Amino acid sequence: MKCILIDETASGQSVRLVDMAPERWPGAESGGEVAVRVAHSSINYKDGLAMTGRAPVVRRFPMVPGIDLAGEVVESADPRWRPGDRVVLNGWGVGEKHWGGLAQYARLRADWLVPLPAGLTTRQAMLIGTAGYTAMLCLLALERHGVTPPDGPILVTGASGGVGSIAIMLLARAGYTVVASSGRGQQSAYLHELGANEIIARQELAQPGKPLGKERWAAVIDTVGSHTLANACAATRYGGAVAACGLAGGMDFSTTVAPFILRGVTLYGIDSVMAPLALRRTAWDRLATDLDLDALERAAHDVSLAQSIQAGADILDGKLRGRTVVDVNR
């Protein structure tokens, strides 16, 4: 099979496109009961970190990156899956500890797979990808909290990225007023097209701020972390909720307890990697019905397997907007 392979080197790591002999493919002894012929994968921020080596994402070498994939079952030792079943996978350490989706085949554990919702192609599933799946997990958390459109605007940080773009689309289609925070002023027209009602500059939230600010939004979907998350919490209205799912701005979180004990703000941590199967199914079923796929196409960028290496660097450097889909057979 053709795949992207990351190898450890004396100076760090190497990443390249290879044509791998069958005897090197993971077998059933690797713990994967299901073999999948991959059709599409995508490029996410974590994939960029893995392929560039800018963060210690890869836990073992050699490694095939790619934290999500969509394809068709070709072999299964588990009765829940049969050859021909269409499946989607996100997370579970795939692309970090287990060989991932930037390959023509993958061997996976049966518990990791979700049926591809009817009406979605494998390409559309990866156009949504882990970014869209994560955005939906954030929306589900806000809904469980009881946030509704009349409560006020929702802030989305890192709005031009994959999670942020899809979060705006989902919120706008559900009737919410959306405030988009982005460091790319040239993307204003794009963000308005997605459904953002107001756009604020990233720098407005990116510097150390006060423990409490003026109450501005009913809820937040944050993909940035660091000072941005702290300032987002400080300006959340009484009883509001913040769903934190990313760290593009840093892992630190310097704030006080003031928003939580004086305004009753709730901070939800959104984990897409190990989320339980029932929640994954709910998220994907909602994505199949709640997302405007035609609008999502306007934020799409398609690349070949070989081109995915450069795309991994580009996503870290802020050169990509929206979603990048990888056709692993190109």
Q: Where are the domains of the chain?
A: 2-116+299-327, 130-269
Same fold: 2-116+299-327 with 130-269:
no
Measured distance CA(224)–CA(283) in Å, rounded:
22
pLDDT of residue 286: 97
Which secondary structure element, helix H or strand E, spans residue 167, and what is its range? helix 162-173
Residue 30: the pLDDT is 59
Cis peptide before 62 (omega within 30 of 0): yes
> What pLDDT is recorded for position 44?
92
The predicted structure's pLDDT at residue 23: 66
The pLDDT assigned to 24 comes to 72
Q: Would you state the structure tokens that stand for residue 192, as one six-digit string?
A: 């308005």
Q: Are 288 and 264 in contact (CB under 8 A)?
A: no
> Which architecture, in CATH terms, is 130-269?
3-Layer(aba) Sandwich (3.40)
Specify the 3-state DSSP secondary structure of 139: helix
CA–CA gap between residue 286 and residue 29 (Å, rounded): 35
pLDDT of residue 41: 98
pTM more than 0.95: no
Question: pLDDT in tens for each of the 330 residues of the chain?
Answer: 999 999 999 888 999 999 988 667 765 545 689 999 999 999 998 999 999 999 889 999 999 999 999 999 999 999 999 999 999 999 999 999 999 999 999 999 999 999 999 989 999 999 999 999 999 999 999 999 999 999 999 999 999 888 999 999 999 999 999 999 988 667 889 899 999 999 999 999 999 999 999 999 999 999 999 999 999 999 999 999 999 999 989 999 999 999 999 999 999 999 999 999 999 999 999 999 999 998 888 878 999 999 999 999 999 998 887 789 999 999
Q: Quickly list DSSP for 168-209.
A: HHHHHHTT--EEEEES-GGGHHHHHHHT-SEEEETHHHHS--
Helix (H) or strand (E) holding 154: strand 154-156
Assess contact for 227 and 205: CB atoms under 8 A: yes
The pLDDT, as a whole number, for residue 322 is 75
Residue 242's H or E segment, with its range, is: strand 236-244
The CATH class for the domain spanning 2-116+299-327 reads alpha beta
Long-range CB pairs of 181-185 (<8 Å, 24+ gap) are 181/155, 181/156, 181/157, 181/205, 181/224, 181/228, 182/158, 183/318, 184/160, 184/318, 184/321
Query: What's residue 28's pLDDT?
Result: 52
